[in-house]
């Protein structure tokens, strides 16, 4: 079951084949570009363009929901075509072209359009890329492979904010110039992807009506329970942009926000591969539950902490949640579905996460404005506990 690696792909880097290694570097440069912009975007929107917290939540919710819809379709399409790389390249290229256009935006509505197109690109590439990773490795190192990809992604997210911090501190206070410079690493990622990644082909699907097969009924009850648990958890997992606003509200200076964001991603990066390896050895379900429990505790902390020191600590520990769950969740998707439906399964998984992002971000923004930040973050913590109960008692694997 699975794809036989060529001699090119069998070459190992830190115990991973070349295909996984190259895809990791693609993620690295993409996130350098993205995270040069993203930590500053909430401040830019609210302070420069005059957007409200609710509209910020609307932008992020629309962006991620858009991505989730395209992740669903592109994953299914990559299974039907058995052509994953073309979709991955197009998705990365689209995001690389539109993301730096934030530099010329003069209204929050324009940022909404740019974020929409950026997330279209992300939606097109993500599920085929995850399926490509799953196709390119063996079951015993699935968690490690996804963990490595996430680690490289987060390492890029360390370098991006650090570049922004240096630029703001020593060269320019102009957010727009920083946003424009983000195109350089973005196109580096596309160049590496085109030259270094090879198409993977799994045995073709049976000759059936594709629209009839595009259904949750095609998948096991265990996979459907997992999707439900992920959806409930995601309803309480709003955009991390609100964590940045909470940090600013509790006394963290604007110049230090990229550093705070950088530290979060350092922890994400350092914990992602060990988290994936832990899921290979200890079990996917146990590792995910541990991560979701940690998330709940951290959101309770954001709800009631009021000092800058507490915010720095919470951001640091928050990175462990990502390390424990990101690789494990993707590896569990691979465990629960046949190889020929991996693209569709990753599309459904990413769709379940993204579908909840719009209401999650809108709810947190609304609760924040009406009832205050403690109530808003406590809501997210409570839903995480509900998801833990469903996964713990409902999933037998």
pLDDT > 50? residue 8: no
The CA distance from 362 to 73, in Å, is: 24
Q: Which is nearest to 178 in space by CA: 154, 155, 162?
A: 162
For 242-270, what is the mean pLDDT? Answer: 82
Kindly report, residue by residue over 15-64, the tens digit of the pLDDT. 677 888 888 899 999 989 988 888 788 778 877 787 777 777 777 777 77
pLDDT value, residue 214: 56
HSE of 276 in the Cβ direction (CA atoms, 13 Å)?
Answer: 23
Q: Which is nearest to 260 in space by CA: 349, 185, 157?
A: 157
pLDDT value, residue 208: 44
Name beta bridge partners: 17. Answer: 12
DSSP three-state, residue 17: strand
The CA distance from 220 to 216, in Å, is: 8
The CA distance from 265 to 253, in Å, is: 19
The CA distance from 79 to 132, in Å, is: 11
Banded pLDDT at 390 (limits 50, 70, 90)? very high
Kindly report, residue by residue over 56-93, the tens digit of the pLDDT. 777 777 777 777 788 888 888 888 777 788 899 999 99
pLDDT value, residue 276: 86
Query: Phi/psi zone of residue 347: left (φ > 0), alpha (ψ -120 to 50 degrees), beta?
Result: alpha
For 267-278, what is the mean pLDDT? Answer: 88
For 361-388, what is the mean pLDDT? Answer: 89
Angle CA(179)–CA(52)–CA(236) in degrees, nearest 5? 90
pLDDT value, residue 386: 95
What is residue 338's DSSP assignment? -
Name the residue with higher pLDDT: 250 or 390. Answer: 390
The CA distance from 298 to 246, in Å, is: 13
The CA distance from 275 to 320, in Å, is: 9
Backbone φ and ψ of 201, nearest 5°: -125, 120
pLDDT value, residue 298: 94
pLDDT > 60? residue 3: no
> Do the Cβ atoms of 325 and 292 come closer than 8 Å?
yes
Q: Which is nearest to 25 in space by CA: 115, 206, 159?
A: 159
pLDDT > 50? residue 211: no
DSSP per-residue letters across 235-255: HT---THHHHHHHHHTT--GG
The CATH number of 16-201+213-394, from 1.10.10.370, 1.10.287.3240, 3.40.50.1390, 1.20.1250.20, is 1.20.1250.20
pLDDT value, residue 1: 39
108-135 vs 85-98: helix crossing angle, rounded to 10? 160
Identify the helix (H) or strand (E) that includes residue 13.
strand 12-13
> Do the Cβ atoms of 75 and 348 come closer than 8 Å?
yes
Name the residue with higher pLDDT: 105 or 380. Answer: 380
pLDDT value, residue 26: 92
pLDDT value, residue 353: 81
Listed range (108-117, 150-159, 192-201, 229-238) with the worst mean pLDDT = 192-201
pLDDT > 60? residue 221: yes
Kindly report, residue by residue over 341-369, the tens digit of the pLDDT. 888 888 888 888 877 766 887 888 888 88
Name the residue with higher pLDDT: 162 or 215. Answer: 162
- End-to-end CA distance of the chain: give it in Å, rounded: 20
Listed range (49-58, 104-113, 164-173, 260-269) with the worst mean pLDDT = 49-58
- Residue 305 to residues 239, 313, 322, 368: CA-CA distances in angstroms? 19, 10, 21, 15
pLDDT > 50? residue 5: no
């Amino acid at each position: 079951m699975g794809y036989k690696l060529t001699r090119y792909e069998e070459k190992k880097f830190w115990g991973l084949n070349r295909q996984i290694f190259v895809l990791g570097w693609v993620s690295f440069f993409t996130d350098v570009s993205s995270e040069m912009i993203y930590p500053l975007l909430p401040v830019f929107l609210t302070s420069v363009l005059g957007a409200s917290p609710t509209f910020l939540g609307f932008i992020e919710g629309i962006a991620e929901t858009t991505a989730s819809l395209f992740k669903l379709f592109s994953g299914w399409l990559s299974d039907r075509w058995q052509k994953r790389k073309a979709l991955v390249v197009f998705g990365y290229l689209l995001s690389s072209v539109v993301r730096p256009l934030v530099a010329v935006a003069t209204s929050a509505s324009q940022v909404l359009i740019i974020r929409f197109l950026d997330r279209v690109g992300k939606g097109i590439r993500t599920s085929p890329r995850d399926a490509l990773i799953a196709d390119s490795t063996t079951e015993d190192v699935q968690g490690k492979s996804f963990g490595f990809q996430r680690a490289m992604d987060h390492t890029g997210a360390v370098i991006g904010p650090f570049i922004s911090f240096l630029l703001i501190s020593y060269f320019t206070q102009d957010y727009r110039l920083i946003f424009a410079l983000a195109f350089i690493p973005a196109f580096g990622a596309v160049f590496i992807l085109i030259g270094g990644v090879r198409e993977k082909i799994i045995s073709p699907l049976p000759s059936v009506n594709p629209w009839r097969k595009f259904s949750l009924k095609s998948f096991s009850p265990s996979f459907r329970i997992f999707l439900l648990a992920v959806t409930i958890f995601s309803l309480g997992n709003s955009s991390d942009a609100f964590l940045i606003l909470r940090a600013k509200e509790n006394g963290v200076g604007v110049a230090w926000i990229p550093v705070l964001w950088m530290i979060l991603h350092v922890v994400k990066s350092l914990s992602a591969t060990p988290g994936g390896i832990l899921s290979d050895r200890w079990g996917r379900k146990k590792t995910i539950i541990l991560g979701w429990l940690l998330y709940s505790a951290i959101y309770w902390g954001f709800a009631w902490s009021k000092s800058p020191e507490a915010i720095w600590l919470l951001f640091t520990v928050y990175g462990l949640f990502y390390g424990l769950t990101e690789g494990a969740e993707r590896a569990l998707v691979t465990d629960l579905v046949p190889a020929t439906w991996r693209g569709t399964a990753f599309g459904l998984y990413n769709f379940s996460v993204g579908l909840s992002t719009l209401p999650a971000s809108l709810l947190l923004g609304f609760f924040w404005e009406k009832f205050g930040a403690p109530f808003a973050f406590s809501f997210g913590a409570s839903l995480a506990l509900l998801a833990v109960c469903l996964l713990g008692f409902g999933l037998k694997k």
